[in-house]
Amino acid sequence: MAKKSYYVTTPIYYASGMVHIGNSYSTVVADVFARYHRLKKDDTFFLTGMDEHGLKIEEAAAKKGMSPQEFVDDIALKTSELWKNLKITNDDFIRTSDARHVKTVQAVFDRMLKNGDIYLGSYEGWYCTPCESFWTDTQVGENHICPDCGREVHKAHEECYFLNLKKYQQQLLDYIEAHPDFIQPETRKNEVVSFVQSGLEDLCVSRTTIKWGVPVLANPKHVVYVWIDALTNYISALGYENGDDSLYKKYWENATEIIHVVGKDILRFHAVYWPIMCMALNVPINFKVYAHGWILMKEGKMSKSKGNLVYPMDVVNRYGLDALRYYLVKEMPLGNDGLFTWERFIERFNVDLANDLGNLVSRTISMINKYFGGKIRKADKNYFSFDEELETLAKKVIEDYKHDFEAFHFQDGLDAIWSLISRANKYIDETTPWVLAKDESKQEELMDVMYHLYEVLRLVSIMITPVMEDSAKTIQEELGLNKEEVEFTALEFGRDTENTVIEKPLVLFKRLNMQEELDKINGDNK
């Protein structure tokens, strides 16, 4: 059987500034998906990159007295460094100013022009300069406000090329109906369906007023509209129409699963324009679109204009990478919005990481040292009814975890793992190892208890790997586990074990004093 191949992408980020924890969320969850599949030894390709063209970037560069290329080079470098610091495991980093990408965009545009899916016309409508989008009378309403960003729009007239969306309207609706998992979650799918049903207008896909973009080959006074340019990244990075297309064949045409992770604000582009482009190009629509909500601050959406931005490294430098990755994945149910406040962050850190996980690790290792000089092995049998309860739960959690991580429901998957951690903590209180330790005749019972805790931690360490690899590795080293014992295929309770744990447990997550931390953060932000 051919090996399964997975392709996961993030949106490509506007190179107008640095990504904050809101938009780095897309990258972290895509990374979790990629890491999960690599843990399973699935062939996986993970793409992220930068969206570098358009007026906003032209303007931002001019403000800094730089050329657009110099400006985006600087941001792209800083962003790829950031991803390295967040241990993002992307296989490629596509930039829309890359020559390979420009080549694909020009070929794609040219093909659609030749096929008659793109035609030259002229446009009169309401234009939003910051969003670089035209809108209809109904969309801007009486107050002439951009439906996307809420800013004022103005009347504009422009010669432009149009993509014939109307032609594909019914085909798209049929496609969505025949592929119920194309858009996830379900509620978002309904929004897209009603948008398409309300009637698609042909889309203006070129601009004559902007210089910083990909010139249309057939008519270079036009540059390609940023969204057509940007969406094409998903195949230009795989070599589509720009040279060796073996990656395109493997990760697109023959992919087991392709997932585009996007925020809810850009769903329409991915679930309407992109599949229509694919139809026009005869590129198979093999992908699914996973739309996530926003990370909100107390004041609403995180944004530069509100001045409420938190940058990933602000969190990492204070509390470590795994705490950030855990929080992002844990606090954001797919589809709904999640909240970021420092209070909530510190609370999750203390409760989930320091207390639940951290304590289970340190208590277990300390007891194995104290009672058995660090040696652990499988006991001759189960001595307690709690053993079966714990084992049954472990089995269920493993199943749930696999199911949830497969389906991109990482939050549910983490909940499942933490239910096992809590149960194991309770198991310590139920079996009271300190009492067994006092009784010479109960040594095998005591080993049985230690073994159960040890097994739970081994399983937990495997399951958290895609989210918090550093902590997973530390726990595995502390437990003295070998490579084979922490493989995905070893995700089963009850392995034979004869290991030695580390002498003194490390402090994985040091409990924080809420008030002290908040004072420090507020002090630094002044």
Q: Which of residues 210-239 bind ligand MSP (CB under 6 A)?
A: 230-231, 233
CA proximity to 300, closest of 341, 346, 348: 341
Report the residue number, 211 or 306, with the smaller CB distance to ligand MSP: 306
Report the residue number, 32 or 420, with the smaller CB distance to ligand MSP: 32
Report the residue number, 20 or 452, with the smaller CB distance to ligand MSP: 20
Which amino acid type is present at position 454?
Y
Region of 11-19, 199-207, 365-373, 512-520 interacting with ligand MSP (CB under 6 A): 11-19
User: How many residues of this chain interact with ligand MSP, rule: CB under 6 A?
Assistant: 20
Q: How far is CA 334 from the centre of its chain?
A: 10
Angle at 133 between CA 129 and CA 134, to 5 degrees: 105
Cis peptide before 130 (omega within 30 of 0): no
Out of 47, 165, 262, 501, the residue judged to bind ligand MSP by CB under 6 A = 262
Angle at 463 between CA 460 and CA 464, to 5 degrees: 85
Q: Minimum distance from CB of 22 to ligand MSP (Å)?
A: 2
Angle at 368 between CA 363 and CA 370, to 5 degrees: 90
Q: Cα–Cα distance between 295 and 19 in angstroms, integer? A: 13
Q: Minimum distance from CB of 18 to ligand MSP (Å)?
A: 10
Out of 294, 326, 327, 386, the residue judged to bind ligand MSP by CB under 6 A = 294
Encoded tokens for 252: 């697109």
Does residue 49 bind ligand MSP (CB under 6 A)?
Answer: no
CA 328, 333, 334, 336 dihedral sign is negative
Q: How many CA atoms lie within 13 A of 180 on its CB side?
A: 1
Out of 73, 158, 202, 265, the residue judged to bind ligand MSP by CB under 6 A = 265
CA proximity to 229, closest of 258, 211, 205: 205
Does residue 295 bind ligand MSP (CB under 6 A)?
Answer: yes
Q: Cα–Cα distance between 30 and 32 in angstroms, integer? A: 5
Region of 6-14, 87-95, 114-122, 142-150 interacting with ligand MSP (CB under 6 A): 6-14
Does residue 311 bind ligand MSP (CB under 6 A)?
Answer: no
Q: Minimum distance from CB of 270 to ligand MSP (Å)?
A: 7
Does residue 289 bind ligand MSP (CB under 6 A)?
Answer: no
Cβ-proximal residues to 201 (8 Å cutoff; 6+ apart), any chain: 136, 165, 166
Does residue 22 bind ligand MSP (CB under 6 A)?
Answer: yes
CA proximity to 449, closest of 508, 372, 504, 357: 372
Q: Minimum distance from CB of 384 to ligand MSP (Å)?
A: 46
Task: Rounding to the nearest 10 degrees, give the CA dihedral for residues 332, 333, 337, 338.
Answer: -30
Region of 293-301, 363-371, 441-449, 509-517 interacting with ligand MSP (CB under 6 A): 293-301
3-state secondary structure of 460: helix
Q: Minimum distance from CB of 506 to ligand MSP (Å)?
A: 33
Does residue 11 bind ligand MSP (CB under 6 A)?
Answer: yes
Q: Cα–Cα distance between 390 and 493 in angstroms, integer? A: 10
Does residue 350 bind ligand MSP (CB under 6 A)?
Answer: no
Which amino acid type is present at position 179?
H
Report the residue number, 96 or 471, with the smaller CB distance to ligand MSP: 96
Report the residue number, 13 or 342, with the smaller CB distance to ligand MSP: 13
Residue nearest to ligand MSP (CB): 263
Q: Cα–Cα distance between 125 and 112 in angstroms, integer? A: 24
Report the residue number, 308 or 499, with the smaller CB distance to ligand MSP: 308
List residues binding ligand MSP (CB under 6 A). Answer: 11-14, 22-23, 25-26, 51, 230-231, 233, 262-263, 265-266, 294-295, 301-302
